[in-house]
Amino acid sequence: VPVFLFVAAPYIRRYVAGGRCKSTARLEGKVVIITGANTGIGKETARDLAQRGKCSARVIIACRDIAKGEAAASEIRAETRNQQVIVKKLDLADTKSIREFAEKFLAEEKELHILINNAGVMLCPYSKTADGFEMHLGVNHLGHFLLTFLLLERLKQCAPARIVNVSSLAHHGGRIRFHDLHGEKCYNRGLAYCHSKLANVLFTRELARRLQGKFQRQAEFTANALHPGSVYSELVRHSFVMTWLWKIFSFFLKTPCEGAQTSIYCAIAEELDSVTGQYFSDCQPAYVSPRGRDDKTAKKLWSVSCELLGIQWD
């Protein structure tokens, strides 16, 4: 058995790693926002996009922990020699912080070409955001919903542009429980994560539908969602059991760099220029659960999200 594992190990790792983004697209002059890019797959996505071209993209790491963000940005700047990797404060658990981030960004930056809604929380004990939203729903869905709303016009002005929403295979276990969105009647932190990831898929689907026909060419604006894979990262930090299991089975998990490949693919791959409203895994189209294809639920979620956030988004 040990000999077999030794021989098979490279093949197992290759399988676990999954698809890789093979695009050689260059991002000279482009401006990119990546939420939660101070660690994990967000950081690796920022690292990749920061080195595409001699005059590389301006990559904005939007995160809550400025110290960690600056450490990540400094590391990426040193490695890529791209001095346009910068950090801006963004707390997705607070709509005031989201609005302040967007206001400052729009005042300081004249362009935006790629928005990667990457940040997320997982398996949190029951808690609420500053605005009273259940934490998974508030951060993973509503926070990114509001951020996208506030930045959408700038993206439209700079088209061709892309929105990339990091969801998860966990969306298959999710339901949009309109009668108990904030888990006040019944709460399970594993299911709460699944519900929020389903919301990511439905948001992407409805956003793509609403953007269709708004441009001369559909290639000018796309929105897609993705599953990064099971990645060895800090995302499971709220669960002692999951943290323990992740360490034991780390050999069978993707590295953050491997997990970032589909995010990078959705952000830059030329073959996706006119592809929108889709869901990807391992740099290829993936199966979406029936609930993730329910247009009626997607429309209702959109309406309820706008109501909760106090915005009008037609």
Read off the CATH number of the domain in which 101 is found. Answer: 3.40.50.720
Pairing of strands 221-227, 279-281: parallel
Known catalytic residues are 193
pLDDT at 232 over 80: no
Residue 122 included in any domain: yes
Give mean pLDDT, residues 188-205: 97
* CA–CA separation, 206 and 223 (whole Å): 10
pLDDT at 282: 97
Q: Confidence band (pLDDT; 50, 70, 90) for 93? A: very high
Quote the domain boundaries for residue 93: 1-309
* CA R_g for the chain: 19
* For range 75-99, the mean pLDDT: 97
- Give the three-state DSSP class for 279: strand
State the pLDDT at residue 56. 79
Is residue 158 within 8 Å of 132, Cβ to Cβ? Answer: no
Give the residue-averaged pLDDT of 142-157.
97
pLDDT category of residue 11 using cuts at 50, 70 and 90 = low
Residue 314 covered by a domain: no
| pTM (two decimals) | 0.92
The residues pairing with 134 across neighbouring beta strands, listed in sequence order, are 128
Of the chain, the percentage scoring pLDDT greater than 70 comes to 87
Domain count, the chain: 1
